[in-house]
Structure 1
Amino acid sequence: MAGDKETLLGMGFDPARVEWALKATGNRGLQPAMDHILENESKPVPSMDAVSESAPAASNSSGAMDVDDDEDMEALQHLGVAGAGAVEAKSIKCSQCGKIFKNTALANYHAEKSGHDQFEESTEEVKPLTEEEKKQRLEELREKMAEKRAKKAAEDAIEAKANEHIRRKQGKDTHKIKEELQAKEVIKEAEQKRRDKVEDAKARAAVKAQIEADKKARAEKAAREKALREGREITDAPGTAGPANPGPAAAAVSSGVAGKDYAETRLQIRMSTGGQPYTATLPSDSPLMAVAEYLAGQTLNVDIDTVSFAQHFPRKTFSRSDFSKSLRELGLTPSAVLIATP
């Protein structure tokens, strides 16, 4: 109706939503249209062609209700209205609250909202609202609309607060997990640095020991060679195995063997393919084959039947026949650095 439309537009509602509400409620009145607007204000306005139009209540030209139609009779019976009598009905009255309605559509709407189910036909005609009544009705509708909007705003605020609480909790949990992972990485890196430092220290100590042993062996060898040239008696360092007065032949043999009789030999084994060196301490009487077996036990890349060993200083490559000789016989005591080729 034009009056309802103008009232809704005057209340500040969007024209498209007003058209939608009036069509969807079948122009049953201001209250149903406004309820429809408030209930669907968060939804987008559909195309008017897609909106199903509720059929408005029928009335005859004199303003009286036409109850001869089967559908209207069924609507009246559904509302609990007795069958139409001889008296011409001009409205429907709610027996429970006394309100009167000019058509069955408005009576149905009242029944849905109030839960009332007792209605009767009435000869009382629904009079048009006066200007004062219209203003009062409009003010009531505005207050109701403001109340509904305030209620919805409060519900939205509670929901937003709950969502914010969930979001913050998730953010804190994610930050905590990230900090724990970073702490674990720091600990892991520190442990790796410590292990690397220990391994480097061991490697430097082994190299230093090898250098000292080589220097000592070279010095002893030079001393023997000088004694042979000068025809002097060769005197071994304390603890050196061999006769007290070796002959020239024995001196020649002993000159190619490293000095003292050490019970154990410390070896640093480096792979020709690179990687971390292996450190082992073996009895000096162990054959070179024991070194191959030790290395094969440390890495699957080594086969004891094909592996070979060499020294960079003094430069020497050991043959397969040397694998049966002891570390002492090969001059590797008390320590040596071997290069292994798989």
Structure 2
Amino acid sequence: MATTSDHDQLISMGFDPEKSKMALKASGGLADAIDWLDKNADKSIEDLKAEETTAAEAKAQEAADQARSLVCNECGKRFRGTAEAEYHASKTEHQDFSESTEEIKPLTEEEKKAKLAELRERMAAKKAIQSEKDKEDAKRNEQISRKKTKESEDIKEQLRVKEQIKDAEKKRKEKQDDIDAKKKIKAQIAADKEERRLKAERDKAARAGQALPSQQETTTATPAATTSKPASEYTESRMRFQTESGNIMKTYPVETTLFEVAQAIGDEIGRDVESFTQNFPRKVFGKDFFDQTLKELKLVPSASLIVK
């Protein structure tokens, strides 16, 4: 804003008072006002006022020509600002917009209420669609989870069946090994018995001064091995227990439980028996076997156990 002193200084310099006011109004300062007066020294006050009016009208026209809205050239819809136009483009994929000097009138109260109701309706519809989508996603996720659970259970079942087959095969092998071992022991016992018989005959013949019988004669006279009776026919079992202090020989009824045997051996060695170990075939009889009989554990007609 120009001061009185600036205007007075211009008058004292010889400038016209009215032109001085116009100069200070147009420039805003003393130095700029002097430049303005020099440039317009040949113009009359009427000409300067006419130019001022023309400039004001041009400025007003320029303001009127400024864009007051945006128009979608693809659908003709108008928008107050770029934010609304960008939202419209994101929803419709329309890309052709232009500026317009036409100003969009403000909404009336009724139009505002209708717009708000429409917006709420759209939001409710969008929420309903999203809810349905969430339900479908939840159902799909549940189906996937059930499928994974079933596949996991199927894999576990397959592993369990394989483990059962493996255990059954192991038990069959152990049983067959036990049968083969018993056969081998029986054959060895029969061979030992036959060897003792032949030795006795040779000793008897030697004492009597008789000729020793040939191997063929003794073999023909007596079978090499006598068929032993099955284990189910034995009523007693001959047991040899290997302890830290030495071996203990005992004979028990086949219906004696391993617990009773453990009690008897424990009393004899002065400590509790935790388990028995059989070397051939290799087996360990822990306390979970103590309720079974010697017959059930196939420790008949004889067995050799290590006391632990």
Shorter-chain TM-score tier: 0.3 to 0.5
Structure with larger Rg: 2
TM-score (norm 1): 0.40
TM-score (norm 2): 0.43
Structure number with the higher helix fraction is 2
Q: Which has the higher contact order (CA 8 A, sep 6+)?
A: 1
